[in-house]
Structure 1
Amino acid sequence: MSDQHSREHARAGWRRTVKGLSAAYMWAVYFFLYAPILVVMVYSFNSARFATDWRGFTWDWYAKLFANQQLMNAAVNSLMVATLAATLATALGTLAALVLHRYRFRGRKVLHGSIFVLTVSPDIVMGISMLIFFIALRIQLGFATLLIAHVTLCLPFVAVTVLARLAEFNEHIVEAAKDLGATESKAFRYVILPLLTPAVAAGWLLSFTLSMDDVLISFFVTGPTFEILPLKIYSMVRLGVKPDINALSAVMFTLTVVLVLAAHALTKARKK
């Protein structure tokens, strides 16, 4: 009995050690990923002009940031593109997911697989492809091309999110609604859409975040007359990182975190 108890005690100790090492590794990864961002956010409150020299706490760089008209115009352009792209991508992605889930047709598997391929396709490949496509059609680069490219970028992520919800969907609910006299459109409006709302909202938030943060694709498809915030930041950073850029980065990171947390909360809500 004593030998068995010793072995069990040793196994329990080994499990605690492995669990502790796993937790330490996880926190080390998080520290590696987020420590640089936290440094940028801290130095956005630094009164010194150079980030390596801490001179005290100040809000001046945020005041200068919001007083910079060029940055504010770029921010408005980014918000407009992100809102429109997220809305269009959500509508099209939701319809695509419904078609792929509810109907059987020739080429369905190819279309289904291509959606997943697009989610892992490198941004630089998509950006160059979209640029060649617009040049071939002689479409002038600007707001319209940027919007089309962002919708293309976001659509597969919405479709995948909604498809995940539809995989858990009870089709008998729709059949019961039709038995009670509901038409196809009413069944979609009053039964299917309300049950998909958390996934649709999560897809919209994810699309908005992707559009706001995109640099590579935007670099290829936007024109000189329409400037967006990520490209504006990129051009400013090339001349040196200034404290107002730190402030802008902190604002964008905070906005992104809020949207991601909201999408995560909605994704969890759809499972209840």
Structure 2
Amino acid sequence: MNKPQLSQKRPSWQLMLTLLMFGFMYLPILVLAFYSFNESRYSAGWGGFSLRWYKSLFNDSRILAALQDSLTVAIGAVAVSAVLGTLMAVGLARYEFFGKGLYRGVSYLPLIIPDIAIAVATLVFLASFAIPLSLWTVIAAHIVFCLAYIALVVSTRLAGLNPHLEEAALDLGANPRQAFVQVLMPELMPAVISGCLLAFVLSMDDFLISSFTAGGGTNTLPMEIFSRVRTGVKPDINALSVVLILASGTIAFIAEYIRFRSSQRRLNQ
């Protein structure tokens, strides 16, 4: 008789804990979104509802230039990392070679090393070879961590695939290139796309590595935001933050949807 009562009481504290957790995570975002519609120039007081800061945001030449730099860095880093990360994941999963365990550990180090350590190490490396800082050095630095994230996602997908797919294709007359392109890559493509979307969001949001490796004239969006909030958070920064949150959430949703559809298709096969 007591068991039903216990089962009725348990969800109450679980629900409270869940609501508290989500409130802790998302209440600041809701407050940020609320004040992005503030008519007042100062975030401390409410001056009425207005879209002026969103209109001002899309007419701000500095913000648009910083957005262009961020997109250039993210797209360039993800494009290179998609190729290298996929090849690295396939090589680690399908082939045996001397030092494989060590290479695997080193390849995934950027996932656990703090960003500040990667930023300082990259800066020291560039200075040692007298490489001038520019937009290209930022792209090269972003490839380091984008590569690891894409390789990790692709490796997870490879772990769930039949390891004899390529062998079956070779037995049926395909050459190694055809087996890789026509058999293995279609199975890996959802993971590659998901990894690219994840790496794209991380690259767009990065501040530390970009600020350490950017040269004169290079100003990514997080760097521009930081330069403005040092004197106080204005409503236009609130509006920009809301736009970035919505864009990141949309990309994350797309990546999760692709992963879900891939999992469903694999279960139905």
* TM-score for both structures, normalised by structure 2: 0.94
Q: 2:196 — aligned with what?
A: 204
Determine whether 1:64 maps to 2:56. Answer: yes
What aligned pairs does 1:212-251 form with structure 2 within 5 A after superposition? 212-251=204-243
Tell me: CA distance 1:188–1:220, structure 2 relative to 1, closer, same or farther (3 Å): same
Report deviation, 1:111: 1.5
Partner of residue 96, structure 1: 88
TM-superposed deviation, 1:34: 1.5
Deviation of 1:182 after TM superposition, in Å, equals: 0.6
Give matches, 1:1-272, under 5 Å: 6=1, 10-272=2-264
* Mean Cα deviation higher: 210-219 or 12-21: 12-21
Distance in 2, matches of 1:225 and 1:188, equals 42
Stretches of structure 2 lacking an aligned partner (at least 5 in a row):
265-269
1:19, CA displacement in angstroms? Answer: 3.2
Q: CA deviation at 1:14?
A: 2.3
3-state secondary structure, aligned to 1:271: helix
Partner of 1:3: none
CA offsets 1:77-133 (integer angstroms, 9 cap, x no match): 101111111111111111100000000011111111223332121111111111111
TM (normalized to structure 1)? 0.93
- Could you tell me how far 1:56 is from its partner in structure 2? 1.8
Q: CA deviation at 1:243?
A: 0.8
Preserved contact between residue 94 and residue 158 of structure 1 (Cα < 8 Å): yes
The Cα offsets for residues 51-95 of structure 1, whole Å up to 9 and x where unpaired, read as: 122222211111111111011101111011111111111111111
What's the CA shift string for 1:151-210, capped at 9, x where partnerless?
101111111100000001112332221111111111111110000011000000001000
Secondary structure in 2 aligned to 1:169?
coil
Which residue number corresponds to residue 267 of structure 2?
Answer: none
RMSD between superposed Cα atoms in Å: 1.2
Q: The residue matched to 1:171 in structure 2 has which SS?
A: coil
Aligned 8 A contact 1:165 1:270 in 2: no
Amino acid corresponding to residue 237 of structure 2 in structure 1: I
> Percent of aligned pairs with the same residue?
38
Deviation at 1:18, TM superposition (A): 2.9
In the TM superposition, structure 1's runs of 4+ consecutive aligned residues that sit over 4 Å from their partners are none
